[in-house]
Structure 1
Amino acid sequence: MTVTAEEALAGVQNAIAAYTHALDAGRSEEIPGLFTEDGVAEIVGQGTFEGREAIGKAFGAFVPQAPQLHLVGNTLLTSPPGDEVTASSSLVFFARGEEGWAVQLVGSYEDTLVRVDGAWKFRKRVTSFQP
């Protein structure tokens, strides 16, 4: 079945939303299942985690200690649509403290996703932050 650009973009956006919602809610145990078995999560300056087990261990350490929110936008497919796509997104990370919500980080996601049994999974996710 041919994948349209609209279908691919919707799948990518859904995978990104599942990832950020799980992070923000402290459901780090859901993160590995959003990746392929041999998936790679790279956080520039912090490490590269290969395979679901390593990803689960790494993200288990990222359980929020206070309310947080990842806002992702400007997602652009950077490859033709198919069963594997690449995409680039902008990221703003907020945390809520005593003074209210404040921007903590600005960055980007560079993703490679594949369609597995109708669901989009991250094959590789590179997260980088702006200074």
Structure 2
Amino acid sequence: MTISAEAALAGVQSVIAAYAHAIDAGDAGAVADLFTEDGVSEIAGQGTFAGRDVIRETYGAFEPQTPQLHLVGNTVITSPPGEEVTATSDLVFFARGEQGWAVQLVGSYEDTVALVDGAWQFRKRVLSFR
């Protein structure tokens, strides 16, 4: 199957947005479902988590205590387009406290995203902080 650069970028952006919405909603099941069965989530300072069940359990412990917002942008495909691509994105994470919204951290994602049964999923997602 030939996949255009535009289609690959759209697929990557879609799974990234779905992840941000799911994590902000505290929906660990939806987060895990965005990974391949053997997918890996690597979070700087937290560890490396492999497989949907482990990812679901790990993200379940990150349930938001206050409203939060992950803004991910500047996504660039860093490999030739195909059924598996790599991409890099910037992250700004906000949380709402007593004095309103405030930046909590800034980081970046390095993703490997695969087209599996017609849906784009993370094969590997690496989060680092700046």
TM-score per shorter chain, which class? Answer: over 0.9
TM-score normalised to structure 1 length: 0.98
Structure 1, unmatched stretches of 5+, are none
Superimposed CA distance per residue, residues 44-73 of structure 1 (whole angstroms, 9 cap, x where no aligned partner):
111100111111110000110000000000
**Whole-Å separation in 1 of the counterparts to 2:57 and 2:104:** 24
Deviation at 1:103, TM superposition (A): 0.2
1:129 aligns to what?
129
Aligned length: 130
**Whole-Å separation in 1 of the counterparts to 2:62 and 2:22:** 11
1:99 aligns to what?
99
2:31 aligns to what?
31
**Whole-Å separation in 1 of the counterparts to 2:26 and 2:54:** 18
1:76 aligns to what?
76
Q: Pairwise mapping of residues 82-93 of structure 1 onto structure 2 (< 5 A)?
A: 82-93=82-93
**Whole-Å separation in 2 of the counterparts to 1:123 and 1:26:** 21
**Whole-Å separation in 2 of the counterparts to 1:70 and 1:5:** 25
Deviation at 1:31, TM superposition (A): 1.0
- Match of 2:37, SS? strand
4+ aligned runs moved over 6 Å, structure 1? none
1:65 aligns to what?
65
**Whole-Å separation in 2 of the counterparts to 1:68 and 1:94:** 6
Deviation at 1:29, TM superposition (A): 1.6
Are 1:55 and 2:55 an aligned pair?
yes
Deviation at 1:83, TM superposition (A): 0.3
Amino acid in structure 2 at the alignment position of 1:78: T
RMSD: 0.6
Amino acid in structure 2 at the alignment position of 1:27: D
**Whole-Å separation in 2 of the counterparts to 1:6 and 1:39:** 24
Amino acid in structure 2 at the alignment position of 1:96: R
Deviation at 1:27, TM superposition (A): 1.2
Structure 2, unmatched stretches of 5+, are none
TM-score normalised to structure 2 length: 0.98
Deviation at 1:28, TM superposition (A): 1.5
- Match of 2:87, SS? strand
